[in-house]
Structure formats: structure tokens, C-alpha cells
Amino acid sequence: MVTNAIDHGVSAMAATTVLSVAGLASLGGKIVCGLIADRVGAKRTLVVGLAIQALAVSLYLFTRELASFYALAVMFGFAYGGVMPLYAILVREYFGARDHGHRLRGGGLRVHPGHGARAVGRRLALRRLRQLLLALHRLPSASASARWPSRPPSARRARCPRVCRAPAWRTEPAERTPVMRYMLLMVRNDKAWGALSAEDRAAAYWAAVEYSEDLRKRGLYERGDPLEMSNTATTVRMERGKAVITDGPFAETKEQLGGYSIVEAKDLDEVLAIVTRHPLLRAGYSIEVRPIRAVPPK
């Protein structure tokens, strides 16, 4: 950008300010494109931003005056600064929170080999450290299992039902992926939700239903239900030993619970990958993720 301006007769000092203008425009692009992406989606905003960058680069072929260089610097810097954070959103949406940093570091390795190699090295070192800590954590359970054979074999068989005993021909232990249950609390602003048209509310509802059915087919969705508006709530409290019934929610807050879903996932990263793609986020909802406590048997 600076070299091109100097080649067309612009002084070196003025050409340097062209780059500074592009940097200032990129700050505005981050804010404006972020607000636009919240409304129309990160993918659409990214595609339009890349198209604006391509147009600005092609217009450099016809630029000769300093004012034109300033205008193109604003155009290119705004689009460049606006689309860069959107890459991280799309990577997290398509690959999940676990692979989010790994994918971005891979892209950085292709563009900047030195910075990317250091990032990948840190990733491998952290993974190795995590494996070492996990092995140390399992040492007490390993020692306990070593003491287990001292118990009578008949007692061991009596405690273990038939379905949990592996066949005699199987030598390696059966692998089972642990599954956790999470409740997704759909929180909304009732005033903003009520201000939407009936068509918009219906579209958001059916989009959530389709997304839940897709999760059900993948074995991740258990159940869920929407709730009526908070003004239909009734609250029961105990005051001075008597039950007191009042109309309205238990707390007057700006946002109220609008529904819930129960999903199953192997860890928090997987359930967050589910939540970040939920259609109700685009409808103005906030989604709180709560692990469901496993109740021990009596």
C-alpha cells in the first residue's frame, strides 16, 4: 500500500499516513462488522467483507491521487479489520471449542511459519503435560485395583451383574465413553420477544425444533419444552410457617426463563459447540448451560 503510493508520486511521509488511516479504519470495521454479524450472521458478513477487500485491491490499479489512496485505505482497512475476528467465530462454529485454537494455529502456520510453529509447539507441549497429569491422577485408582485381587473371586462375581462381565475370549477392557447430561436454560427478554412479529417468533420456534430434531437423530437430545411469558408465572413462598402464593416470577429481572432443553454430551466442549449453533441465539435469547447432578442410588 505504501510502496504503491510512493510509486505514483506521493511523498514518503504522506504514503506512511495512508497505512495509518487503514489501521484506524480497521478498528471501526471490527465494531461495525461485529454488530452486523450479530444480526445477519458471521458467514454472510465475512463473504461481503472479502468481496469489499477484493474490490479495493482492484481499484488500486486506477488510483493516482493522495485523496484516492486515503479513500481506498479506509475501504480496505474497514473490511480487513471487520472480517478478521469472524474467522474465529466460524472455526468455533464448525469445529467446536476443542479444535478452535488448533485450526487457527494451523492457518497461522501456513501464513506465518515462525509464529505458527511456536504455537503448534506450545499446543503439543500442553497436550503432553495434560497426559502426564492424567496419568498421575490415575495412580491411586491403579494401586486400589492392584489390591482388588485379594478379595475372594466369588464376592467379585456376586457384585458384578452378568451384563458387565466381558466374554472369556476378550483380552482387552471394553472402552466406554462417559456421557454427561446438561440442561440448557433458554433466557429471554420478554419485552423484546413480545415486540417481535408473530411470524418472527414462529420462525425462531420452528428453527429451534428442527435443530433439536437434528440433535435427537445424533443421540444428543433428550427432551425440552418452551415456557409461556413470565407474567403467567405463579410463585409460592413460605413465610412464618404459611405458604404464600403471589402472581409473577420469583424475581423481577430484565430477562426471564423462556424454556429448557436437556442434552447429553461427553464434556463441556461438546455441549458448548451445540449451544453456539443454536438458532435461538440469533432470536435474542441467552442460553445458560448447567450440568445435571447425578443422584447416587439409595
User: What is the distance between the alpha carbons of residues 216 and 223, in angstroms, rounded to a whole number?
Assistant: 9
**CA angle 119–120–122, rounded 5-degree value:** 65
Backbone φ and ψ of 290, nearest 5° = -125, 125
Length of the chain: 298
The string of pLDDT tens digits covering residues 176-228 is 456 788 889 888 888 888 888 888 888 988 988 999 998 888 888 888 888 88
Mean pLDDT of 143-165: 47
| Residue 152, C-alpha cell as written in the block | 475372594
Q: How confident is the model at residue 230 (pLDDT cuts 50, 70, 90)?
A: confident
Residue 285 has a CB neighbour count (10 Å cut-off) of: 22
Q: Partners of 263 in the beta sheet?
A: 182, 221
Q: Which residue has the higher pLDDT, 138 or 151?
A: 138
Closest CA to 183 of 144, 211, 218, 224: 224
Q: Partners of 180 in the beta sheet?
A: 265
User: What is the distance between the alpha carbons of residues 81 and 5, in angstroms, rounded to a whole number?
Assistant: 21
Residue 125 has a CB neighbour count (10 Å cut-off) of: 10
The string of pLDDT tens digits covering residues 19-75 is 788 788 888 888 888 888 888 888 888 888 888 888 888 887 777 777 887 888 888
Q: What are the E-state strand segments in 189-285? A: 221-226, 234-239, 242-247, 256-265
Which domains, from first to last, does the chain contain?
A: 2-95 (no CATH), 180-291 (3.30.70.1060)
Contact 252, 221 (CB under 8 A): no
Containing 291, the helix (H) or strand (E) segment is: strand 286-291
Supply the pTM of this predicted model.
Answer: 0.39
Residue 49 has a CB neighbour count (10 Å cut-off) of: 22
